[in-house]
Structures are given as C-alpha cells and as structure tokens.
Structure 1
Amino acid sequence: MVHAASTGRLASQRGDPSEAPVAAAAGRTPLLELENISKVFGGVNALRAVKFDVMPGEVLCLAGENGCGKSTIIKIINGVYQPEPGAVMLMDGESIEGLDPAKARELGIQVIWQDLALFPEMTVAENIAFEQNLGARPRLVNYGKMKEAARRILERLGVVIDLNRPVRSLSIAQRQIVAIARALVRDARLVFMDEPTASLSHAETEALLEIVRRLSADGIAVVFVSHRLAEVLEVCTRVTVLRDGQYVGTFPTEGMTQTRLTELMTGRTFDYAVRDTNLAAAPVVLEVQGLSRGREYADVSLRIRKGEILGVTGRLGAGRTELALSLFGMTRPRAGSIRIDGKEIVLRSNRDAIRAGIAYVSEDRLQLGLVQPQSIGDNTVAAVLDDLLDATHLISSRKRNALIHDWIQQLAVKIGKPDDAVSTLSGGNQQRIVLAKWLATNPKLLILDSPTVGVDVGARAGIFAIIHKLAAQGMAILLISDEIPEVYFNADRILHMRNGRIVGEYVPGATTMEHIERDVHA
C-alpha cells in the first residue's frame, strides 16, 4: 500500500551531499541556459523564477507532477510562449530574444509531443521530410531526394522502416522513430521528448532508449519527460525537478532512487508495502472457467473474491485487454464460462455487463473513457442517466447535481465548476471522473485497465488510495497493468499473462518483485 504524508525540506537542504543540486559541468558552456523564467496566465503563476540548463550531448530529465510547469517551460523554449520580462535565455552562451517556433527550429530546437503530430495518410518518407519543406516556396516535390533524406536519417538511428508505408499502418514504437527522424532532418541539436514510452512495451522501450543513447553519442542533447521513473534513472545523467511552477533543483541520477525522486517531485514521503489481507473465506464474486477467444486469449481461468484486488500483468499483446473486453461484454468468448456470485451469465453487450454489476475503466481515457468536449458533470452521470429520471421521465436536476457533488467530494476531484469541460482537468483528475462515472453504477466488480497511464506519481498514489478503499468496502477489483511495481504493491495476487494464456501466479511478499520482472521480461 502507498501512503503519502507531508514532508519538511528537501534532502539537499537537509545536508545530504549525495543529493545536492548540481549545475552544468564546470568550465563547459551549456547548449541552452535559462534564468529567471516566469509565466503568468490570467493572474496565475505557471512558472516562477525557474532556471534550466542542458549540456551538448546530455540526456537530461525534466521531472514533476502534472501541472508543475513542464509543458509551459518547453513551450517557452520552443517559442510558443513568451516569458515575463526579466528572463534570460542563452544558446551557446549567446543571448536569444524574440524566440518563435520558426526561430527555435533554426537554432536546432525540436519538440516531439506525446501525440507525435504525424500525418497518418502520408508515407514514412513524406512525414520525415516534411520539416524540410516548411516555409519553402511552392514547387514540385522531389520524391527521390525526399526518400534519400529519410533513408539517411533512419540509417543514422540504426533502424529500418519501409519508406513507402503510410504512417497509419505503423506501430506506436515505429511512429516514435518517425517523429525522431523528422526532428533530425532539420539538424536538431536539442530534442525534447514528451512521454515517449507511455504506450510502448518493455522491448520497444529498450529500443527507444538505445536510440536516445545514440543521439547523445552524436552530440545531440535530449530532454526526456516521463512518468516512468525507472527509465529516467536508466538513461539520464541529471534530472531537473519542478514543483508547483518553481525550480526545486537539478540532481545527478547516479545514486538517485525512484522513491527519492518521487519525494522531490511531490514534496511528500511515500512508504511502499505489499497488501496484507486474508480473503480465503470471502465469497467469490467473479469466476471464469476455460475462457477462450481465438488467438486473443485461451483457456483462461481465474477467481476474484469480495474485497480482493487481483493484478494481471504481462507484456503488451499478452491478451489482457482482450480478456477485459470480454468480461465487460464488448466481445464474445468462443468457449468457457463467466459466473458472477456463483450464477453463470452470458454477456451479449456492455449493457448486460453493467446490469450484472461489472464496470470497466479503459486504458484509453481520452477516446473511450470520457467525452472530452462535454462537461465534468455530464461525464460523471453518463452511465446512470436512467437512475436520474423523475416522474415525468426527464432527468431530475436535483438528482443529477446531488450525484455529481457526491462523487466529486468522495473522490476529491479538483475542479473549477461541474459545467467546465472535462478536458480542462489534469490527467489524474480526469481519471477520477472516469472512476466516478463507473462507481455511480454501484458495481460488484471493477475492471481497471492500466488506470494510471499518463498520470503522474502523486496523482497515482491518490488513485490507488481510492482503489484500496473500494476493496476495503468489499468491491472485487481486476487491476491490469504492465508496470509490475503497480500490481506488486497494490494487488493481493498477481497473474502473469503471455500469448493469451495465464502462465504464472504470484503473491506479493511471498515472491520478490525482481522475480516477477524476470519472468515477465524473459
């Protein structure tokens, strides 16, 4: 279980020399150096006197919770925003002023945002060479020259991708490489990568980190933004931490732990311990026997008891989400049985699943979990509209508002007004609204598919605190995650899926996390 409590001053201020903030290497000129960077939006200080520097060829991590100012400072460096008066920005020791996106590109600054901003219907070569044509006068396209430029860049990265393939046909990992290649076409010297591994498997992540190391060896500086702290500590030499729009410090990653970095980012202490529960006598809520669906999953059998959190982990493509979709009635298994409270059920649709007391939080919060343009309130009540009808069969404003208020209070969602668009919320608060939507259905079984994707470490602790509370109240929970520490510290039992089958079962505490990681990544 994860506990968070307020802490005092940071380790570097407590006299711990191993964590003292470090500046750029003495005697060397930083590639980029910022001082006194502030930004105000509508009277709110998004950044306050922040400093930042990165050396040529360095891999630096920019870390902090959602809303700490990471995106704001990247957009200032990229020329999208202008800092407040008094800011100092130096490139190669020379002052830069009047920065805009075009000038930033000329200076060799490139940003690869999480959405990648690629053209899905265009080919790999066209996407990579797109940067070469920005601002150029209209002319016939030289496809031979375009393909040659793309081929050279991919060779430099040490990868092979068919230049004629449309980007829509590529995997997420391949699209990441195309986005990196596009940045290099314009002779990038500094590349920002925003959550580049969020949707990648372990093997794909390792391949991407190798490309980052290759860029560093070529003298290209990379600023890595990621909530996956293990990757940060593996690939970066320093980490700059922001909190609430302020500069906390820049620290060496050597000797840094994930726990300590989390404390620096949040200002809180996190104590990690496995769950200590005895549920052997609790009634079985979900029982699955021999469930199969072609190549997606086969012969899956499992039980989840009342109040139990069952973790399911494995590499991407193991069949975890496919299993979850069948348990929620979105797809039909071809063999096997599903029982809720001992009664066999047939799920022809998600409506059948909801009536049976099953709720499902998808890993794709933006596309499947929420309707982004709609309000916070509308998203909260979307799954229980029938329960809000009055005698005239119209939605009762009183019932609706009471339900919205109740769940916002229970889940401690930080909002402006319920009528604000749900897209205005941070990732962690959006995920709480998704939970509220399904908890309003009063489920017996809650399926959580990668519930913390794109959610920062502080918000994760809050979400898991909610999950633990729901389990303590008797809800059965199926927790799917490819992040093994998540299931290790938050599940009572863990199942390992590979190639659509359950190949291992573990009890946290009785098995080490390292043992599970070895099995999963073998």
Structure 2
Amino acid sequence: MADDAPLVEMTGVTKTYAGITALDDVDFLIRPGEAVCLAGENGSGKSTLIKLLAGVEWPDRGVIALDGLAQAAMTPTTAAAAGIAVIFQDFSLFPNLSVAENIAFGAELAEGARFYRGRRVREIAKRTLERVGVLMDLSAPVETLPVAHKQLVAIGRALASNARLIVMDEPTTALTEREVRALLGIIRRLKADGVAVIFVSHKLAEVLEVSERVVVLRNGRVVAEGPASGFDARSLTRHMTGRDLAETGPAPLLAGAPVLLKVEGLSKAGAFHGVDFTLRGGEVLGISGLLGSGRTALAKALFGLVTPEAGRVVLDGRDVPLGDPLRAAEAGIGYVPEDRLTEGLFLTQSILRNVAVGRVASHARGPFLDLGGLAAEARDWLARLRVKAPDAEAPVRSLSGGNQQRVVLARWLARAPRVLVLNGPSVGVDVGSKAEIHAIIADLAAQGLGVIVISDDLPELLATCHRILVMVEGRIVEDIAGAEATEEGLARRLAS
C-alpha cells in the first residue's frame, strides 16, 4: 500500500430512515491502494454506507473524515473533490456519446471547459485507458458496446476525474468468467497505482481473490472484519446470513422419467444453429456459454420471444408454435428473464398484482372478475415461496432482489407450467436468497417439472443441474452429466 494513513474513515456512523436503522454505530476505513470487500445480504446496509461515502446522504450520528480531516458536511461535491467515485450497476453513462466523451466528461467539467475540445477529449481518454492497459475504439458510441466495455468506460471516467477511491457496486453481475478475470487484473493495476477500491459483490470467491480486507454488514452493524485470508466462501456466508446454509444439489432423477420437451434443429441466423436436446420430467438442465454464445437467444426462442427460422419445439408430444409467447405459455412453458427489472416485473404495481396478473383469465366469471379469489391465490403463492414483504400491496420495486425474483417465480408457478426456463435465476441476489432459490429449483424438479437453467455462474450450475449443455458460437458442443462436471472443467470448456 502506498500509505498507511486512512483515505476515508467513518467512526460511529448511524443512519435511520423513518425509524428504521440502516446503519448502527458503524466504523469503517480504507487506505490508499487497498481493496476492501464490503459484504452483506440485501438490506444489510451496504447501499447506505456507499451513499454516505458519495455524499448523497449524511449520517444522523458519527464522523466521516477524509485524509484525517473530519467533514462538517459531506456532499457529492465534497466526495468528488476528495477523489471518491462510485460505479453503480447501470454505470450511469451517456449512451449517445462516444467512449472518449464519456471518459473525459467529468474531467472537462472540473476544468470548467466552456466549449467542446475534441482533441483534448481524445487525449484524456487515450491516456486514461492506457493507464489500465485497455485498448478501445474511442469514437464508438457507448450504446453499441458490450457490458464489459461499458464497465471499462465507467472506470476510465472515474480515473480521468482523478479518483483515489473507486466503489464498485456488483461489478461482475453481467460479466462472463473471462471478463471477470480481466476486471480483476485491472483492479490489481489500480491498487498498484495507489487507487483504493471498495468491492461489493455477491460472488464471494472473486471478492476474496482481489481484496486485502473484508468487512461484513448484517442488519446495519459490522459483524465481522479482518484480512481476506481469514475468510472463505463458507465463513463469509455464515457471517452474512447468521447461519450455515445447507449445500443443496439436484434431487436424483427418476429412472425412466418421460421426455417432456424435445428441441430439434432449432436455428436462428446470427444467434444459434442446429440446436438439439431433450428435457425429462423432474430434470434440471443447465445451458451455459460465454457472452455471444447464443444462450440467451435460445432461452427466449423456447418461450417465443425470438422467432427461429428452422426447427421444432415439442412439449408433451405436441409442437409449440414458434415466435408466439402467448401460445408458448398456454402450451405450458414459463420464462423467468435475466433482467427482472425491465422484462419481468411491473415495478410500480403492487407485489400482489405482479403475481395475480398471470391468473386473471382463470378467475373471470363471465363479464366479472373474482378479485377475492385472485388475491387469495396470489397471497398463497407469496407464502409458498416465502416472499418477505411487510405489505403485499406495496410496490414490487420496494423488495430486495431475491424477493423480486421469487415474485416472478410465483407468477409463473401459479400457472402450473410443465417446463420452466430460468435465465440467470440468481443474478443480483444475495447469497442467502441464492441458496433459497436453488432449493426452490430442486423442489420444483422433485414435483416433476422440467427446469432449464441458463447461467454462466458455474457453481450455480453444479449445485442445481442434472446435465449441463455447453454452447459455443451458437451451437451445443457438449452434454455433460452434472455428477461428472467440475468448475475447472466447465471453465475450460467454455473458454475453448
């Protein structure tokens, strides 16, 4: 580390919202060139701590010191001047501006530039990306970039503004294994250059790999802190949740289980080609591949959101019309999307309505709707999936990521599907909710459903799937029995 003096130090920080304590007497510090893993479940206080660092919120009690000087008032301007930058999950970039313009925007603003200086903008961007060893087309519009490159632009923008502390909130959620490796390499470069990093992630193995220290929050309090070498994924999970989580695996597949779903020769130009596989009742089938492998397009095609140009999808011996999600749902196929916020939920509507919407037709009584029966059924499914909500009439956006995912699952399960396609079932959820979602998957399979899990989270595939299909450049290249698969072997196959 470049310096042992704290860059930022919080002492006895407390923050409440409407009588609810988000942070309770929290001490936290970070030094230049240090990477700290800030771990905790949803609702543990991580987001509140980040808001305090960024100056968006001010604590009710306690002291925040920058470079040893206590701050009378912390504002976004104060935080930016101190070199504190937060990279949120959506990156907060200007999609219509170029890579160079996005990177240089903050620096130009800080310099008080009144007119656009194209050459200067490109110089700033080029120098900044060279600092982290990245080559990129500086003129490319950001909206055309893959997620991994957008993240690099966000990091570049922070560095161009002379960031001394970069907070990365769930930086690896949408990245493939290869892209995660590249990001961790960049974080090591930043540390060597004296830049401090706070790393917030639900993927425990990677945060331990890159962090010197770990701070664990639970219910707004620091419950564990120490060198990263003193933690492993199991102990970190125990501190975050307050309990040991059972290691689940797929239930044994019954011998002679009937074939539910048969996919034959499914093809879509530029996405996937000649895809063939079967799915049995009670089977959990994993499909994995790198970004661009065609896995998401295939998942959407099974549900009719993408129209294949050739091939068949056969459920219970009957052809499912292609390119028609309504008829796919009627045939018995359910689909839980990867991006639940934009594709899976009605965010301003109540939790109850988000579940009930899938069953409206079943509760029609002539020209009338049995609202009581509809609500009762929805509440029953919320209870079955243990959705933690103080009020089912509250907007679904008020829930944590794990509970939002359960709401989407409840909506589909209420329709009694025969096959359920789960695209990234635990993306963006905390470790406790992830284990519970895996248990739900195992329970569904035990009831005879066919479940397809689309994921590049290798431990998730190993924990849930009877078989795993590997996709490369739009084709299924390998069919691996889950009992024979290892994380190292899968990673090697995906990268080949």
**Interval of TM-score (by shorter of Structure 1 and Structure 2):** over 0.9
User: Which one of the candidate residues 464, 470, 473 is aligned to 1:499?
Assistant: 473
Correspondence 1:359 to 2:350: no
Relative to the length of structure 2, the TM-score reads 0.96
Residue 43 (structure 2) pairs with residue 107 (structure 1) = no
Following superposition, the deviation at residue 147 of structure 1 comes to 2.1
CA contact (8 A) 2:356 2:375 kept: no
> Does 1:332 find its partner at 2:307?
yes
Alpha-carbon displacement from aligned partner over 1:163-197 (angstroms, at most 9, x marks no partner): 22221111111111111111112211111011111
Q: Aligned letter for 1:426?
A: S
Structure-2 residue corresponding to 1:28: 4
Output aligned runs, 1:80-159, within 5 Å.
80-85=56-61, 87-134=62-109, 139-159=114-134
Deviation at 1:265, TM superposition (A): 1.1
> Equivalent residue for 1:77?
53
Counterpart of 1:424 in structure 2 is: 398
**Residue by residue, what CA displacement relative to the aligned partner does 1:393-442 show, whole Å, maximum 9, x if unpaired?**
23321122112211111111111322211111110010011111111211
Shift, 1:256, TM fit: 2.8
**Could you tell me whether the CA contact under 8 Å between 1:274 and 1:509 is conserved in 2?**
no
Q: Does 1:482 align with 2:456?
A: yes
Equivalent residue for 2:349? 374
Question: Counterpart in 2 of 1:278?
Answer: 253
User: 1-side partners of 2:131 and 2:65: how far apart?
Assistant: 29
- By how many angstroms is 1:37 displaced? 1.0
**Aligned counterparts of 1:294 and 1:142: Cα–Cα separation in 2:** 42
Distance 1:175 1:512, change over 3 A: closer
TM-score, L = length of structure 1:
0.91
**Residue equivalent to 1:449:** 423
**Using the alignment, how far apart are the partners of 2:457 and 2:112 within structure 1?**
48
| CA distance, structure 2, for counterparts of residue 507 and residue 406 of structure 1 | 36
Q: How does 1:223-372 map to 2 (within 5 A)?
A: 223-254=198-229, 256-272=231-247, 274-372=249-347
Is 1:62 matched up with 2:38? yes
Instruction: Identify which of 357, 361, 365 aligns with 1:390.
Output: 365
> Which consecutive residues of structure 1, in runs of 5 or more, have no partner in the other structure?
1-23
* Distance change in 2, residues 1:135/1:214 (3 Å): closer
Name the CA distance, whole Å, in 1 between partners of 2:404 and 2:461. 21
CA distance in 1: counterparts of 2:404 and 2:462, whole angstroms:
24
CA contact (8 A) 1:361 1:369 kept: yes
Deviation at 1:136, TM superposition (A): 7.0
The 3-state SS of whatever aligns with 1:351 is helix
Which of 11, 14, 30 is the matching residue for 1:38?
Answer: 14
- Do the aligned partners of 2:251 and 2:446 also contact (CA within 8 Å) in 1? no
Q: Which residue is 1:412 aligned to?
A: 386
**Which residue is 1:440 aligned to?**
414
Residue 428 of structure 1 aligns with an amino acid whose one-letter code is G
CA distance in 2, matches of 1:348, 1:188: 48
Matched-pair contact (CA < 8 Å) for 2:250–2:442: no
Counterpart residue number, 2:26: 50
In structure 2, distance between residues paired with 1:442 and 1:116: 38
Residues 413 and 433, structure 1, Cα contact 8 Å, conserved in 2 = yes
Greater CA drift, 108-117 or 411-420: 411-420
Structure 1 residues 385, 136: CA separation in 2 closer, same or farther (over 3 Å shift)? farther
Match in the other structure for 1:208: 183
Indicate if the aligned counterparts of 1:279 and 1:305 stay in contact, CA closer than 8 A. Answer: no
Contact 2:462–2:485 (CA<8 Å) still a contact in 1?
no
**SS of structure 2 residue aligned to 1:197:** coil
For structure 2, which runs of at least 5 residues remain unmatched after alignment? none
Deviation (angstroms), 1:515: 2.2
Helix, strand or coil for the counterpart of 1:312?
A: strand
Instruction: Give the CA deviation at 1:238.
Output: 1.3
CA distance in structure 2 between the partners assigned to 1:345 and 1:165 by the alignment: 41
Equivalent residue letter for 2:305: M
Change (3 A) 1:348 1:148: closer
CA distance, structure 2, for counterparts of residue 136 and residue 56 of structure 1: 24
What amino acid is the match of 1:234? E
RMSD of equivalent CA atoms:
1.9
Question: Quick one: which amino acid aligns to residue 335 of structure 1?
Answer: A
Aligned-partner Cα distance in 1 for 2:319–2:31: 62
Please tell me whether the aligned partners of residues 445 and 477 of structure 1 are also in contact (alpha carbons under 8 angstroms). yes
Q: Partner letter of residue 53 of structure 2?
A: I
Distance in structure 2 (CA, Å) of the matches to 1:249 and 1:146? 44
| In structure 2, C-alpha distance between the alignment counterparts of 1:139 and 1:320, rounded to whole Å | 46
Amino acid at match of 2:264: Q
Alignment partner, residue 194 of structure 2: 219
Contact 2:167 2:199 in 1 (8 A): yes
